[in-house]
Structure 1
Amino acid sequence: MSQHDTIFSKPLPSVSDFCFDQQVVEVFPDMINRSVPGYSSILQTLPQLVSRYAQKNTQLFDLGCSLGAATLAMRKGCENFDGCKIVAVDNSEPMVERAELHLGGFKSQVPVELRCEDITDTVIENASVVVLNFTLQFVPPEKREAMIQRIYDGLADGGVLLIAEKFRHVDETMNDVLVDLHHDFKRANGYSELEISQKRAAIENVMKIDTLEAHEQRFQKVGFKHQTVWFQCFNFAAMLAVK
């Protein structure tokens, strides 16, 4: 069972950059559900989207799989497709170790290969579905276009990229409104002003967010034929792009 997230509840002499270490693994489900508005809705919709775009005898990728929540949702969506395999990747060894335990607790006909590696090194091939669930925002900005290009090149025709991200609004006034609404969401879920402030300081150097327009332009540039935002809550959005 996930522990309650209290990582930033006490004043820290200095706030280090956020990382997905063992401490975060222990509280991650609580942290993400109390921090990311709409997270559960995105996960609940993944099986439906996967069942729409999965193709038999292909691979499905969960890049930045953390504890495997999206992988489990993807597995539900492709159970009726013969020959499918899910490749779940994360560069945090504690995350991958815990994901293996979580995935092992549910029976399924769909095999899952767990890998501990940098997702920018993952070879994408014969893919029908690729999921980046709040992952691209942690990839260095200068590497993002090349990564999306590799995903596009590795997708079969009709394949889909499903990506969820925190984003920055191009209008600074509206961006401030969305940020304030997000902070209100965190307060309503029990986070203190100290926790909100220290978490923001910890993550600002490791999570560089794009505008929705930047995502759209990147999808178009690498060759995706169709794209849309299918879910948004405050400054968090889920998008799909179809090859």
Structure 2
Amino acid sequence: MSKARRPSEMPEQLPDRLFATERRPEDFRFDASVARVFPDMIRRSVPGYTTIIPMIEVITEQYAQPGSYCYDLGCSLGASTLAMRHGIPYEDCTLVGVDNSEAMIERCEHYIALDDNHLPVTLRCEDILATELSNASVTTLNFTLQFVDPQQRASLLARIADATRPGGVLILSEKIRFESDSEQAIQTRLHHEFKRANGYSDLEISQKRTAIEQVLIPETLAAHRARLLAAGFDEVLVWYQCFNFVSMLAIKANTSDTD
């Protein structure tokens, strides 16, 4: 159980009101203003997020291997990083969190420092496309790939697959789109109702959608599966879905199991 934390020790957290008033349209950025409200934003915007994070701990415990690296690519404030940290059962594992937003990394460092788990965490403020990867047993892309240029996704996944040990896993969580226009419309409507139920106004939903639609590029589940297999993973499965948000496992076969 985590130790008690005094309010003065915690980074400032604000409710997400970024799109509550009329604003000039501009692309969404992970800047300091987003970092301050990010815990509230993602909890109220992503169905199932509060389930996915603790399950990352469970999955990490099952797939982490001694003497390996575990990566959280696009770590933001470190929710996935901390889940992985608590799931890793080996003291000789190296946990690395990577994000290209200085504001996110700064706050992530604070949360890591407050956590009572002793496993060291290395945080890198850099582009995940340039991150050196090797000897990985668990890698997490938790709602990160969707912000990567679609033309660069295949090469990133290939590098992750190449760096993954036999028996290792990539945890990939994404917002997806659907093959059927009808299903796309239904799932989008349900997602918006989820946001309304969490207190977002129609103005907030509309303005956030306009800001993010050129930045977050979703793909179909079939496209994700085909690309992961082409990258070098041997099995791809969906372990969680809520509306148009899914989390997948891309697994490298354990060669000892096939001998």
TM-score class, shorter:
over 0.9
TM-score, with structure 1 as normaliser: 0.98
Aligned length: 241
1:11 aligns with 2:15: no
* Structure 2 residue 87 is the aligned partner of structure 1 residue 77: yes
Instruction: Say whether residues 1:228 and 2:237 are aligned partners.
Output: yes
Q: Which amino acid aligns with 2:232?
A: G
Equivalents in 1 of 2:212, 2:169: separation in Å?
Answer: 29
Residue among 64, 70, 74 paired with 1:54: 64
Q: What's the offset of the Cα at 1:29?
A: 0.2
Unaligned 5+ segments in structure 2 are 1-11, 253-259
1:126 is aligned, of 106, 111, 135, to 135
**Aligned mates of 2:149, 2:237 — CA distance in 1:** 24
Aligned to 1:117: 126
CA distance in 1: counterparts of 2:31 and 2:158, whole angstroms: 29
Q: Which amino acid aligns with 2:187?
A: L
- Which aligned pairs between 1:19-30 and structure 2 lie closer than 5 A? 19-30=29-40
Q: In the alignment, residue 249 of structure 2 is paired with which amino acid?
A: L
1:220 Cα offset (Å): 1.1
Shift of 1:107: 2.2
State the match for 1:199 in structure 2: 208
Equivalent residue, structure 2, for 1:210: 219
Equivalence for 1:41: 51
Deviates more, 1:106-115 or 1:53-62: 106-115
| CA distance, structure 2, for counterparts of residue 109 and residue 160 of structure 1 | 23
Give, in angstroms, the shift of residue 81 of structure 1.
Answer: 1.1
| 1:91 corresponds to which of 95, 100, 117 | 100
* Equivalent of residue 150 in structure 2, options 141, 146, 151: 141
Q: How far, CA to CA, are the matches of 2:13 and 2:244 in structure 1?
A: 26
The structural deviation recorded for 1:190 is: 0.4
C-alpha deviation, 1:5, in angstroms? 0.4
In structure 1, what residue type is equivalent to 2:239? Answer: W
Q: Secondary structure at the match of 2:247?
A: strand
Deviations 1:29-51 (A, max 9, x none): 00000000000000011111001
Residues in 1 aligned to 2:168 and 2:206: alpha-carbon distance in whole angstroms = 40
- How many angstroms apart in 1 are the aligned matches of 2:146 and 2:173? 9
Q: 1: CA distance between counterparts of 2:251 and 2:91?
A: 21
Which residues of 2 match residues 118-197 of structure 1 at below 5 A? 118-197=127-206
Unpaired runs of 5+ in structure 1? none
CA positional deviation for 1:2:
2.1
Q: CA deviation at 1:222?
A: 1.4
Identity of aligned residues (%): 50
SS at match of 2:177: coil
- 1:137-188: CA deviation from partner (whole Å, max 9, x where unpaired): 0000000000000000001111100010000011110011000000000000
Q: Where does structure 1 differ by over 4 angstroms across 4 or more consecutive aligned residues?
A: none
Report the secondary structure of 1:232's partner residue: strand
Query: d(CA) in 1 for partners of 2:156 and 2:185?
Result: 30
Q: Give the letter aligned to residue 21 of structure 1.
A: D
> 1:109, CA displacement in angstroms?
2.7
Mapping of 1:92-107 within 5 angstroms? 92-107=101-116
Query: TM-score, normalized by length of structure 2?
Result: 0.92
The two structures, once aligned, show a CA RMSD in angstroms of 0.7
Deviation per CA, 1:38-90: give whole Å up to 9, x if none: 00000011111001000001110000000000000000100x21301111000
